[in-house]
Chain A
Amino acid sequence: MPKWEYAIMPRKLFAHLRRFFTNSFVKFVAKKVVFYAIVMFVAMTFVFFIPRIVPVNPIDLMIPRPSGGISPEQYAEIRNYYMRFFGLDKPLFDQYIIFWRQILTLDLGRSFPTSSVVSWPRPVLGAILGFLPFTLALVIPVLLLSFILGNWIGARAAYVGGKRSELAYFFSVFSNRLPCFWLGMVLLFLLATRAGLFPTVGWISLRVKPPSLDLDTFLDVLWHYCLPFLSLFIVYLGGWATGMRSMVIYEMDSGYVRYSDQLGFRKSKSMAYAKRNAILPQFTGINLYLNALIGETTIIENIFGWPGIGRLLVDSVMTSNFPMITGCFLVIMVVVIFGNFLIDILYGFVDPRIRIGRR
């Protein structure tokens, strides 16, 4: 039916809309949107109240204690001025309303002057957006590459069987249990300071400053990127491999694989079916891995001096930089929720039971 007919036939439009909204896939997406909106609300409410329940005022960190030179009255005046300037003098509930208005209008105000990594007075979101690419550059490749390679290794180990499979299992469990920050420290010790192959901290060498968009800069950043990437990648690789190996072994034991074996299928053919079924539960794992990865990136960034959100967040938390904390958590939540949402949709496409739905 051509689109213009909707105008003269509202009944048909209504019928189409109804069919659209009773489509199981659309319903699935709508449900997820509502759920993630609630998650966002709860998380940001926590972020607002956690620093405000303790009786420490960030203003006292910004201005020095009254000493010689100014009277207590003058000090109180300065303090009140600061309180008014950053809106901390209002009742808690008003602050909470302002907090949500700022989030919804994407104008988080200015960072407190306590930050040591962001110069004052920069708008919060602008500053954070400068840090975000570094975090994404760690999180996305680690997640995708470890998923692909780890599942390949796991499936391969299950396929080969025997001693080599045991060995692969042993190594993947071990690598998955390595604390990523300690692995980072050991890599720094062995590869950076002992062997001198990699730089120790930061994201760019002084010699290529100011950074420009050429190959030299790119290679230099890549060189700095190797160790933080490796220390997360190795840990996550083992996780996927362990899971995939046991899933494939489990599938290889099920009826359809045995039946196809007895029918005389080639082993690679029946394995292809087994792998296809084994990878489905792995997709549901991506959500949990993403959430864990966001956390571990925070630590890794601090160890390697990699200028991502995690580094900014830790600095803001340590300096009670309320607007910056809000901004960091807002961006982290958006990344987490967007990632989770994408993975949910992806899973909907991958799993035929959800893709086709109940007609």
Chain B
Amino acid sequence: MEMLELLRRSRKFIIGSAVVGAIIMLGIIGTMVTPEPKMNLSQIGKAQPPSWEHPLGTTSLGEDVFAQLCRGISNSFMVGLLGGGLGTLIAVLLGALGPYKGGLADESSNFVTNVILVFPILPMLLFLSYVLGERSLFTVGMLVALTSWPWAARSIRSQVLSLKEREFINLARMSGMKDRTTVITEVLPNMLAYILMVFVLLAGGAIIAEAGISVIGVGPDRGLCVTLGNMMYSAIQFHPSVWHWSSIWWWFIPPGLVLTACLSAIFVIHAGMDEVFNPRMRRV
């Protein structure tokens, strides 16, 4: 509760969450208000620029871009939640349990983290995603989570290591508290803010990773769901050349703008949280 009170006073956090909130609301309300975007065979090759009827115009397949965008926002945020949540879970398991147990558990989890940290993640991700064949939001979110956790695990580990040496943990140990109780009542509440920050960054990372592999064409299948990334992919894919797709700017500019706004907002949220939870940074 004290945490929320502090956060409410951070201007960065408020602005960032307002932007993310607005984008999510646009996604949810827009999805409810607009009809499902359908391919219109009679309109193929006749993309219309923005008008009153179609606020963001139509694609060259006759779909309404605004309706697509709203669904894309919801779906991309789903990938963010899934990838960020699962990635945080893996990072906490490998980054926090290892050093707390110490010994071989710590050494091995740290080693695995460092090895995966050197991998070229995006080529691996697109390789895995292509091999998978059937790609839904869920599977892509899982894959992103599986490849995104190493840096998070490493920073959580260093936090736990420094936390372990702190006076109040020693005090809890000396007063005969059990390991499990110490973790639940002392370590975790102190880590919660940090884990939340990791989640925010991982969620943003998952959204951009999904968009990245979608632009190449190995993201979620277009037939299953629309995401911000595969909107851009289809904008390129359904035209023979750059000259064609770049003349239909209303198809690929909006998803990128939303993506940039949402990633910037997530960064600002993270910076705000950093200032609040990390007193050393508060004046920066």
A binds B: yes
Binding site for B on A (CB under 8 A): 35-36, 38-39, 42-43, 46-47, 50-51, 53-54, 56, 173-174, 176-179, 181-183, 185-186, 188-189, 192-194, 200-201, 246, 249-250, 253, 287-288, 291-292, 294-296, 298-299, 302-303, 310, 313-314, 317-318, 325, 328-329, 332-333, 336-337, 340
Which chain B residues numbered 100 to 152 have a C-beta less than 8 Å away from chain A? Answer: 114-115, 117-128, 130-133, 151
B86 within 8 A of A: no
Distance (Å) between the CB of A31 and the closest chain B CB?
12
Contact of B115 (CB < 8 Å), options: A38, A292, A318, A332? A38
Top 7 A-B residue pairs of the complex, sorted by shortest distance between their CB atoms: A295-B122, A182-B256, A200-B242, A189-B246, A177-B263, A177-B264, A193-B246
* Alpha-carbon gap, A11 to B256, bound state (A): 68
Cβ contact within 8 Å between B122 and A181: no
- A328: B residues at CB distance < 8 A: 123
- B133: A residues at CB distance < 8 A: 54, 56
Assuming A51-B131, A185-B232, is B119 touching A43 (CB within 8 A)? yes
A-B contact pairs, 23 of them (CB 8 A): A43-B119, A50-B128, A173-B264, A181-B211, A182-B256, A182-B259, A183-B256, A189-B246, A189-B252, A201-B242, A291-B120, A291-B121, A292-B121, A295-B122, A298-B122, A299-B122, A299-B212, A299-B215, A299-B216, A303-B215, A329-B127, A332-B123, A340-B118
- A185: B residues at CB distance < 8 A: 232, 236, 246, 252, 256
Interface string of B181-211 (1 = CB under 8 A from A): 0000000000000000000000000001001
Cβ contact within 8 Å between A46 and B246: no
- B1: A residues at CB distance < 8 A: none
Interface string of B207-242 (1 = CB under 8 A from A): 010011001111000000000000010001000011
What size tier do the contact residues of chain B reach? 35 or more
Cβ contact within 8 Å between A179 and B260: yes
Cβ contact within 8 Å between A200 and B241: yes
Cβ contact within 8 Å between B126 and A317: yes
Contact of A179 (CB < 8 Å), options: B151, B211, B241? B211
Cβ contact within 8 Å between B256 and A186: yes
Cβ contact within 8 Å between A298 and B260: no
* Alpha-carbon gap, A78 to B232, bound state (A): 41
Cβ contact within 8 Å between B123 and A294: yes
Majority SS at the chain B contact face? helix
- A186: B residues at CB distance < 8 A: 253, 256
B162 within 8 A of A: no
Name the CB-closest residue of A to B266.
Answer: A177
- A42: B residues at CB distance < 8 A: 115
- B241: A residues at CB distance < 8 A: 200-201
* Alpha-carbon gap, A174 to B151, bound state (A): 22
Name the CB-closest residue of A to B233.
Answer: A181
B284 within 8 A of A: yes
Name the CB-closest residue of B to A253.
Answer: B283
Distance (Å) between the CB of B18 and the closest chain A CB?
16
Interface string of B255-271 (1 = CB under 8 A from A): 11001100110011000
- A36: B residues at CB distance < 8 A: 118
Cβ contact within 8 Å between A336 and B131: no
- A291: B residues at CB distance < 8 A: 117-121
Which chain B residues numbered 268 to 283 have a C-beta less than 8 Å away from chain A? Answer: 268, 280-281, 283
* Alpha-carbon gap, A297 to B255, bound state (A): 21
Name the CB-closest residue of A to B127.
Answer: A317
B52 within 8 A of A: no
Distance (Å) between the CB of A139 and the closest chain B CB?
11
Cβ contact within 8 Å between A336 and B215: no
- A314: B residues at CB distance < 8 A: 126, 216
Cβ contact within 8 Å between B232 and A295: no
Cβ contact within 8 Å between B268 and A182: no
Cβ contact within 8 Å between A50 and B118: no
Distance (Å) between the CB of B201 and the closest chain A CB?
12
* Alpha-carbon gap, A294 to B246, bound state (A): 26
B249 within 8 A of A: yes
Cβ contact within 8 Å between B123 and A179: no
Name the CB-closest residue of A to B212.
Answer: A299
Name the CB-closest residue of B to A35.
Answer: B114
Other than the given A201-B241, A295-B121, 15 more pairs (CB < 8 A) read A38-B115, A179-B263, A182-B256, A185-B252, A193-B243, A246-B284, A288-B117, A292-B121, A292-B122, A302-B216, A314-B216, A317-B218, A318-B217, A325-B127, A337-B118
* Alpha-carbon gap, A281 to B59, bound state (A): 46
- B151: A residues at CB distance < 8 A: 288
- A50: B residues at CB distance < 8 A: 127-128, 131
Assuming A192-B246, A337-B118, is B130 touching A317 (CB within 8 A)? yes
Distance (Å) between the CB of B154 and the closest chain A CB?
10
B175 within 8 A of A: no
* Alpha-carbon gap, A18 to B103, bound state (A): 30
Name the CB-closest residue of B to A181.
Answer: B215
* Alpha-carbon gap, A336 to B127, bound state (A): 17
Name the CB-closest residue of B to A316.
Answer: B127
- B281: A residues at CB distance < 8 A: 246, 250
B42 within 8 A of A: no
B247 within 8 A of A: yes
- B119: A residues at CB distance < 8 A: 39, 43, 291
* Alpha-carbon gap, A39 to B263, bound state (A): 31
* Alpha-carbon gap, A56 to B131, bound state (A): 9
Cβ contact within 8 Å between A179 and B259: yes
Distance (Å) between the CB of A90 and the closest chain B CB?
21
Distance (Å) between the CB of A66 and the closest chain B CB?
23
Contact of B246 (CB < 8 Å), options: A188, A250, A253? A188
- A47: B residues at CB distance < 8 A: 127
